[in-house]
Amino acid sequence: MNKAQLVEAIADKVGGRQQAADAVDAVLDAIVRAVVAGDRVSVTGFGSFEKVDRPARYARNPQTGERVRVKKTSVPRFRAGQGFKDLVSGSKKLPRGGEVAVKKAPKGSLSGGVSARTTVKAAAKKATAKTAAARKTAVKKATAAKKTAVKKTAAAKKATAKKATPAKKTAKTAAAKKATAKKTAPAKKATAKKAPARKATARTTTAKKTAARKK
């Protein structure tokens, strides 16, 4: 049975050939998209479709027998459900005509399968992890920026202090020189004033000696 024959087989049950074609296309498209995304599509009593990863391996070419390296790949896989297996093996009889061959979905199962819930939870966890990582990165960048700014400020203060220190030392040296000059100047003046007194004493002594000789 091909796709066209499948559409013809269900056309009477869904209200026409076009409706049947649309239903088949919609079902197949949903299954393919879910499996490609890594989700598992499970139909109770029929089977499940899933994506399987195959690691890199060596295989043999059936025509030449040559050993060939096969790359890592992903393939779709279908596993038949127990009800489907029982019908094929003959352990259970296939219902006639209009009866349902595959078991109906249990109540509540149409609100979302386990795999869909797992996928949603996984996506939420990934989003939370990405947000947390982004926040940590932002905090690290901000901390690094603050540390850099503090280091630059400290370096600038040190440079300013080094520049200001020689100027202060020069000012202190100039003030010390002025003070020394002031102290030295009165001492020189005092020495200069004392010199005439010595000369006057010498003159008086000479006059006394001359007077004594005359006598």
The larger pLDDT score, comparing residue 17 to residue 96, is at 17
Q: Burial of 166 by CB count in 10 Å (0-12 exposed, 13-18 middle, 19+ buried)?
A: exposed
Which class would CATH give 41-93?
A: few secondary structures
What is the C-alpha separation between 35 and 29, in angstroms, rounded?
A: 10
**pLDDT for the residue 31:** 95
- Given a cut of 80, whether residue 96 has pLDDT beyond it is no
What is the C-alpha separation between 9 and 16, in angstroms, rounded?
A: 10
Q: Burial of 35 by CB count in 10 Å (0-12 exposed, 13-18 middle, 19+ buried)?
A: buried
- Given a cut of 70, whether residue 191 has pLDDT beyond it is no
Q: What is the DSSP letter of 40?
A: -
CATH 4.10.520.10, the chain: domain bounds: 41-93
Residue pair 39/52 in contact by the 8 Å Cβ criterion: no
Least confident of 2-6, 49-53, 95-99, 201-205: 201-205
What is the C-alpha separation between 94 and 98, in angstroms, rounded?
A: 11
What is the C-alpha separation between 168 and 161, in angstroms, rounded?
A: 10
